[in-house]
Amino acid sequence: MATEVVVSCLCGCAGDNIDGVVAFAAVFNALLFGYNLMGYIDGSQSCPPKLGMSNHNSAFYTFWMRQDQLLLHAILAFVSDFVTTLIASAKASQEAWDKLNKLYAKLQTTLAHE
């Protein structure tokens, strides 16, 4: 994934301060890896099934959903209000992340052709 593109969007300083983008990327990635949350964003840690759960599996599902929604909240909180309107339909953090990648990849392509 084009993490740099997403990070530029998330930090709100793309084009204004490259040092800010680099610093934000370092902090955001360190938090995701440090708290073992990157799997929610990249899809490698998928949601446990909801149906037919024992109490044990139900706890895993609930925990996963809470973590994912906290990440979704963090993503929505870091983007501009305009970008929030473009990705607000996302129900999961990975979906929001993917939408940001597509949105900013298109923007990057457009800017490259100018």
Cβ pair 105, 74 in contact under 8 A? no
Q: What 8-state DSSP symbol labels residue 113? A: T
Q: Cβ distance 86 to 9 under 8 Å? A: no
CA-CA distance, 62 to 28, in Å (whole number)? 24
If we measure between CA atoms, which residue out of 20, 106, 34 comes closest to residue 7? 20
Q: Summarize pLDDT for 10-69 with one digit per residue, the tens.
A: 555 444 444 554 565 677 778 888 988 999 998 999 998 877 666 667 888 999 999 999
pTM of the predicted model over 0.75 = no
